[in-house]
């Protein structure tokens, strides 16, 4: 079995630090590259829980067990690793904060659905990182774009473009196909005399230029975000997946993606200088 050692860099502050001028990093490495994630002070329960798990080594050798391109990559199933069911009393109370959105790179807590979990309490260990839609896709009527692109590709005048799509389809590169369709948005609009733009004024400003996945806002606790290594999310999100026999979902990576975490202490000033993150006052 091929082991991928994932190193995730998490930045956060907890009272145990003792120095308000310092914070913590959790470093993770993988053949896909490194990520750096800041943990929010606005969600102290999730921050403390995540750092304790990382420090104790309980996250080590867990895996990214659920990967859905243009949506998210999920990991941290400690219960499965340890062979012990997750205890309900260990769940973390929801800390859904207005202004902390599911932008690309957002770190959030997985949880059970509302019918089993009306208080939206978070899993004690499982988390996900948002891959999401690109900002360009969010600003486009993608459904209509794909419909009209299908019609356009039936025209022999666009055989070269059809060949590009077919090659990407053979490679199962859905992101490449989506990017190619978006790159030809202007062509489709001109060909059919339509405007495929959508009103983006309803989206929070935080999404502009970066994208994400808005339907999850207000439903799950966002407690951090990737501030360096967004390309690593893309690489993991594009791995080949297989169908999960239990859920029927096409989301289980064919090759196991392991992760490990190492907590590192760092001065907040250095964090800001290196990663551009501004701490709340």
Q: Stretch 112-130: mean pLDDT, rounded? A: 97
DSSP, residue by residue, 174-188 = HHHHHHHHHHTHHHH
Kindly state whether residues 82 and 188 are assigned to the same domain.
Answer: no
Q: How many CB atoms lie within 10 A of CB 164?
A: 16
**Within-domain flag for 68:** yes
pLDDT tens digits for range 71-105: 999 999 999 999 999 988 999 999 999 999 999 99
Query: What pLDDT score does 13 carry?
Result: 38
Confidence tier at 110 by pLDDT (50, 70, 90): very high
Tokens of 62: 């867990």
Task: Provide the pLDDT for residue 6.
Answer: 44
Q: How many domains does the chain have?
A: 2
Which residues is 103 bridged to in the sheet? 212
Q: If DSSP states are collapsed to H, E and C, what string results for 12-79?
A: ECCHHHCCCCEEEEEEECCCCCCEEEEECCCCHHHHHHHHHHHHHCCCCCEEEEEEECCCEEEECCHH
CB atoms within 10 A of CB 281: 3
Q: Are residues 256 and 237 in the same domain?
A: yes
pLDDT at 115: 95
Same domain assignment for residues 122 and 67: yes
The whole-angstrom separation of Cα 74 and Cα 108 is: 9
User: Do 51 and 117 reside in the same domain of the chain?
Assistant: yes
- Shared-domain flag, residues 144 and 125: no
Give the CATH number, domain containing residue 14. Answer: 2.40.100.10
**Position 21 in a domain:** yes
> Do 32 and 160 share a domain, yes or no?
no
Give the torsion through C-alpha atoms of 87, 252, 214, 183, to 10 deg.
Answer: 170
The answer to whether residue 207 is domain-embedded is: no
Nearest to 105 by CA among 215, 6, 224, 214: 224
Looking at the predicted structure, is the pLDDT value of residue 12 above 70? no
Please give the pLDDT value at position 17: 53
Same domain, 33 and 162: no
Q: Which residues contact 207 (CB under 8 A, 6 or more apart)?
A: 101, 103, 135, 138, 214
Instruction: Look at 137-141, 168-172, 202-206 and tell me which has the smallest mean pLDDT.
Output: 168-172
Cβ neighbour number for residue 100 with a 10 Å cutoff: 20
Percent of the chain with pLDDT over 90: 75
Output the pTM of the full model.
Answer: 0.86
pLDDT of residue 140: 95
What does the pLDDT look like over 196-252, one tens digit per residue?
999 998 899 999 999 999 999 999 999 999 988 999 999 999 999 998 888 889 899
pLDDT interval class at 132 (50, 70, 90) = very high
The reported pLDDT for the residue numbered 15 is 43
Q: Which two tokens stand for residue 175?
A: 């992101």
Residue 126 has pLDDT above 70, yes or no: yes
> Is residue 205 one of the residues assigned to a domain?
no
Q: Which two tokens stand for residue 27?
A: 């470093």
Residue 198 located in a structural domain: no
Whether residue 3 is contained in a domain is answered as no
- Phi and psi angles of residue 50, each rounded to the nearest 5 degrees, phi first: -65, -45
Are residues 226 and 114 part of one domain?
Answer: yes
Q: At what angle do helices 174-183 and 185-192 cross, to 10 degrees?
A: 50
Residue range of the domain that includes 166: 140-192
249 and 147 in a common domain: no
Q: Are residue 63 and residue 147 in the same domain, yes or no?
A: no
């Amino acid at each position: 079995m091929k082991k991928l050692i994932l190193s995730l860099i998490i930045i956060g502050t907890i009272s145990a630090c003792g120095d308000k001028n310092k914070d913590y990093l959790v470093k993770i490495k993988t053949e896909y590259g490194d990520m750096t994630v800041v943990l929010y002070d606005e969600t102290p329960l999730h921050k403390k829980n995540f750092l304790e798990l990382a420090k104790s080594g309980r996250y080590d050798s867990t895996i990214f067990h659920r990967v859905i391109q243009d949506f998210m990559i999920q990991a941290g199933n400690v219960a499965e690793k340890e062979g012990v069911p997750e205890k309900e009393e260990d769940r973390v109370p929801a800390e859904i904060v207005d202004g902390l959105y599911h932008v690309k790179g957002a770190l959030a807590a997985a949880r059970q659905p509302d019918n089993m979990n009306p208080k939206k309490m978070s899993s004690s260990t499982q988390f996900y990182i948002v891959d999401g839609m690109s900002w360009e896709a969010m600003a486009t009527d993608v459904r209509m774009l794909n419909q009209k692109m299908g019609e356009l590709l039936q025209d022999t005048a666009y055989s070269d473009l059809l060949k590009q799509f077919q090659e990407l389809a053979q490679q199962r590169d859905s992101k490449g196909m989506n990017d190619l369709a978006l790159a030809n948005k202007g062509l489709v609009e001109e060909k059919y005399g339509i405007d495929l733009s959508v009103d983006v004024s309803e989206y929070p400003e935080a999404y502009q230029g970066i994208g994400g996945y808005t339907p999850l806002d207000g439903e799950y606790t966002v407690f951090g975000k990737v501030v360096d290594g967004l390309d690593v999310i893309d690489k993991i999100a594009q791995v080949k997946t297989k169908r999960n026999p239990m859920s029927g979902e096409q989301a289980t990576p064919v090759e196991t993606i392991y992760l490990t975490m190492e907590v590192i202490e760092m001065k907040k000033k250095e964090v800001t200088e290196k990663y551009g993150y501004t701490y709340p006052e």
